[in-house]
Chain A
């Protein structure tokens, strides 16, 4: 079993839709949770990070962590074609290595 599991998609939505991306993890020691966005032929770039449980909002993006169920979510409101990319969730227990999900490919249709 992988440390972080993520549905690979692809996920296709119309412009303006609310997008929900999800991951589960198995290691209860994970404390830090991150979402990365990766455009084709580019390196991943950090979108959001959270510590422990709770929500964090940044513009159209909301990251949510539920440690009791080991569930990580990213919500994108008013999705745009420019949001089309692969979204990777990641988690880490502390000051050491990261564990990544396999990524969900999102396509927002104009």
Chain B
């Protein structure tokens, strides 16, 4: 079956512009996560959606970052007024906590470069 997909795969934007990153989770997965991975760094948690519950936004680095998940499926991460330090790979993952496999499945990521 289809895995997690993300678009675009690469995005180059000018400082100060807004960007939207999209994530399509695995069908039926109720949990969706966004992470940021800077060069040589581990995964930095950004936000977590679980079903219809209020999202856990505790990892968002500033109010320039926001995310939404429509219809419990597709999610969009928006970065407003991008800064050079926002350059990173943005990874999306989904999981299905109701099963015995508590892992999460990652998309290929969106590589964001802010010039």
Contact = CB atoms under 8 A, between A and B. Distances in A.
Interface of A: 6, 8, 32, 34, 36, 41-46, 49, 51, 88, 92, 95-103
A95 B101 CA distance: 11
Categorize the interface residue count of chain B. Answer: 20 to 34
Contacts of B91: 43-44
A96 B65 CA distance: 21
Interface of B: 4, 33, 35, 40-43, 45, 48, 50, 56, 91, 93, 97, 101-109, 111
Contact of A43 (B40, B41, B48, B106): B106
Contacts of A8: 40
A69 B97 CA distance: 27
B95 to A, nearest CB: 9
A45 B106 contact: yes
20 contacts: A6-B42, A42-B108, A43-B4, A43-B91, A43-B108, A43-B109, A44-B43, A46-B104, A49-B102, A95-B102, A96-B50, A96-B56, A97-B45, A97-B56, A98-B33, A98-B45, A100-B42, A100-B43, A101-B42, A102-B41
A26 to B, nearest CB: 15
Nearest to B58: A97
Nearest to B48: A97
A46 B26 CA distance: 15
Nearest to B100: A51
Given A43-B107, A95-B97, A97-B48, A102 B102 contact: no
Contacts of B45: 97-100
Nearest to A46: B103
A49 B105 CA distance: 13
The 5 closest A-B pairs by CB, nearest first: A102-B42, A43-B106, A100-B43, A95-B97, A46-B103
A97 B56 CA distance: 9
A103 B41 CA distance: 7
Given A43-B91, A43-B108, A100-B43, 8 more contacts: A6-B42, A43-B106, A51-B102, A95-B50, A97-B33, A97-B45, A100-B45, A102-B41
